[in-house]
Chain A
């Protein structure tokens, strides 16, 4: 109850803000009314009798933060896999294109690791908050949903195969093309499920048609395609910025770095602009009640603005970075990717708002839950979470330091010809 109240006041403040800014036209009608008549035709499964073990906002916070990370990794994966495949296909052995593609593909398996592992927590938290809708839609496309696992496994394996071939100087675009198909397939299935879960009115007919295994795709949702395009365009765009980053911070040969920088910048600018267009499309296919809700909610409307502004900034930064000087600018590259990432964070919040508003208009209020927490567990988790990240950071620093030392020693040893590495190490130890 407390949460509902809090939410109402947030909406009220938002309303006021929007009104002051001069966009108060929506106040003239009651957007909820037109949809309410439909609610009798379908029902959400009943809510789990076990209360939520923590407040709704905490799940939302954790879910959105990890989803931003999932999306960042996923966008980098989709785009860099595409570019690398094209370059590897076009480039002859020892050409800049070919070397550029090799430089990129070596990073891709690690990206996939993080796509998957940052996908796990949002799925966990979404099942807690939206299980009634999410389990249902998953079962309705069950065949495709479980097929994600098979495709994911093969895709992941092929990526390692590509990296392996790149390391031994062989071409690999055939393998990466296959895994590209897998990645796009998975993205599409996710878009389908995440939109189907918002349409309880489509569930019964779909179930009747599919006979239970879930082999039929839902049709008739105007938002599925724009959402999918939005994610793909964003993916290409963000990975363009990723290449900018790789070109200035990585240690590639100068001509490879220059190549990555130029194309990375152009891609980032072009596709992030396209993402904006797709974003407008996504917004326009939302029903009036959702659009109004987004605009009147403080959080969602500011997130929408943040997304727009940061994406424009990322476009500009990428273009400048692409053509800046001979060796590029680290600051510009980092700025481009940072703005791109902030744009992603912005749209994650808007996306969350779209979901809540859509479900609410159909009678599912995510904030209406009893909460009975066991804080010892929650705190243990938070402590371990912070501790775990700190441990990883600490190890990475140690490893980087040690790697530098060893690299220097090897260089010195090579220089000194027969100089004894062992001696050198002992000397160092003595100091």
Chain B
């Protein structure tokens, strides 16, 4: 625990990241897909001399600008604030590796935002051909932001053997490009690009839904049908890309998925299967709704339906994110750093020399507990709480998300001791090692954790 622990009751820091990230993805991927949608639609309208399309596109580009700027940009900054709070150690690793990756992304980002603003503010004010070109620059720069950030995101799941072989040696910078173009880079880039087109289509339906279908029936129908086509590539290709993606994930992590399918009903692993199923089901529902409700009944397709589609897309994104998150467990950076910020290479040191004693943050307070508390038991509880925050808090809360009081309800002291023993030994056949990091520390620290957990369990049974 190099840093203080950000303790968010019920939700957990990870939960905060998940919420912001899902919300951000929904908008950011739209910013990418929508960036292509607008100029292509404009080109079509120009070529076919469709003045009536322009009104719709103008209002769409305004919606687009406000949504991507006010909500997209801020939520992007939000993810970054959230990871810094919830997992400073991992954020620091990422930043030390990729600071110039981020800086490059930032350049594309500035181009993207500037062209988005120019595009919106210059409708009818400049030569249409130039306007269209601005649209293409926007489309290119926004896609390039994805090209960059994708390298950093996929790195977290699969840093790749080259980077792992130098990790910790101080020469990480020398293999920057290997880390960047890591094993899941390309499948993920294709996947995200496809999904961004889907989202472009879905969000365009929001604008289209606000057209009066009885006064502009034909126009509305055309816009809806054209937007719906944006969903086709994703619908056809995503499943294949997903298999490609999985094929690039290391065997050990993939087992999590298999387990989910073979042990349905066991509670633990059905989570990941459930996520995958939700994604499939929501996507199918989206397609069906788009076809039957939007395309076939375009006249009466209203804002309510459009928003339902966006919410479904939110659900699909959220469950995909969760599946990805599960796939990465017990690591935050694959095979290098566990979700709780402990590096794989530090496990032995912590076991031999102590976990809290190595934390500049906690060591002093532990001394304080034993001098200030009335009883040793009380001090142990406080020390156990520090252990819990440091090593378990990244994935568990006391009550709420993946709650300890639930998981421990019916376990007594011996049962808790056994679990901790298994977590600590982290043997190859331990069922936990696939999704939980090894528990590290010396005996007194582990005992303190047990005492703390026992108290939770007793409180839960009351």
Contacts and interface: CB of A to CB of B under 8 A. Distances in A.
A153 B108 contact: no
Contacts of B419: none
A378 B2 contact: no
Interface string A33-77: 000000000111110111111100000001000000000000000
A44 B7 contact: no
Contact of B4 (A62, A116, A207): A207
A403 B125 contact: yes
Nearest to A160: B66
B115 A395 contact: yes
Interface string A131-146: 1000110111010011
Contacts of B78: 146, 149, 153
A212 to B, nearest CB: 3
Given A212-B7, A381-B104, A372 B134 contact: no
Give the secondary structure class of A's interface: helix
Interface stretch (B33-41, B43-51, B94-102, B349-357): B94-102
Lowest 10 CB-CB distances: which A-B pairs, in order?
A212-B7, A135-B88, A149-B78, A50-B96, A402-B126, A374-B173, A43-B360, A156-B70, A45-B2, A388-B107
A53 B96 contact: yes
A212 B170 contact: no
A384 interface: yes
B103 interface: yes
Nearest to B8: A213
A148 B126 contact: no
A115 to B, nearest CB: 11
Contacts of B171: 372
B358 to A, nearest CB: 9
B137 A395 contact: yes
A370 B170 contact: yes
B383 to A, nearest CB: 14
Nearest to B71: A153
Q: How large is the interface on B (under 10, 10 to 19, 20 to 34, 35 or more residues)?
A: 35 or more
A211 interface: yes
A395 B110 CA distance: 13
Contact of B95 (A128, A204, A406): A128
Contacts, number: 205
A19 interface: no
B216 to A, nearest CB: 22
Nearest to B117: A110
A3 interface: no
Contacts of B168: 49
Interface residues of A, number: 73
Interface in B166-193: 168, 170-174, 176-177
A124 interface: yes
Given A139-B5, A207-B4, A406 B100 contact: no
Interface in B75-134: 75, 77-78, 80-82, 84-85, 88, 91-93, 95-97, 99-104, 106-111, 113-115, 117-118, 122, 124-127, 130, 134
A120 interface: yes
Contacts of B406: none
B2 A373 contact: no
Give the secondary structure class of B's interface: helix
B74 interface: yes
A116 B72 CA distance: 12
B4 A149 contact: no
B117 A113 contact: yes
B3 A135 contact: yes
B74 A124 contact: no
Given A149-B81, A152-B74, A204-B365, A125 B99 contact: yes
B126 A399 contact: yes
A385 interface: yes
A157 B99 contact: no
29 contacts: A43-B361, A45-B2, A46-B2, A48-B93, A50-B93, A50-B172, A53-B100, A53-B176, A54-B99, A54-B100, A123-B80, A139-B6, A139-B85, A140-B4, A142-B8, A146-B16, A149-B20, A149-B74, A149-B82, A157-B70, A160-B70, A212-B4, A373-B173, A374-B173, A377-B100, A395-B118, A395-B137, A403-B125, A406-B127
B389 interface: yes
Contacts of B3: 45, 135-136, 139
Of B82, B130, B389, which is in contact with the most chain A CB atoms at under 10 Å from its CB? B130
A117 B109 contact: yes
A7 to B, nearest CB: 22
Contacts of B118: 395-396, 399
A50 B117 contact: no
Nearest to B7: A212
B4 A139 contact: yes
A157 B66 contact: yes
A124 B102 contact: yes
Nearest to B365: A204
B400 interface: no
A49 B106 contact: no
A23 B125 CA distance: 60
Contact of B99 (A124, A376, A384): A124
Contacts of B113: 113, 117
B71 A157 contact: yes
Contacts of A131: 88, 91-92, 95
A153 B81 CA distance: 14
A208 interface: yes
B38 to A, nearest CB: 16
B59 to A, nearest CB: 12
Contacts of B308: none
A156 B69 contact: yes
A1 interface: no
A402 to B, nearest CB: 4
A256 to B, nearest CB: 20
A391 interface: yes
Given A54-B99, A385-B107, 6 more contacts: A46-B360, A123-B80, A157-B66, A213-B6, A380-B104, A402-B127
Contact of A113 (B71, B73, B77): B73
A381 B100 contact: yes
A398 interface: yes
A392 interface: yes
Nearest to A208: B365
A380 B4 CA distance: 36
A391 B137 contact: yes
B217 interface: no
B233 interface: no
Given A145-B81, A148-B81, A384-B107, A392 B114 contact: yes
Interface string B372-409: 00000000000000000100000000000000000000
B285 interface: no
A152 B118 CA distance: 23
Interface in A360-409: 370, 372-374, 376-378, 380-381, 384-385, 388, 391-392, 395-396, 398-399, 402-403, 405-407
A120 B77 contact: yes
B9 interface: yes
B364 interface: yes
Contacts of B4: 136, 139-140, 203, 207, 212
A406 B125 contact: yes
A321 B82 CA distance: 46
Nearest to A42: B364
Of B71, B93, B360, B361, which is in contact with the most chain A CB atoms at under 10 Å from its CB? B361
A392 to B, nearest CB: 5
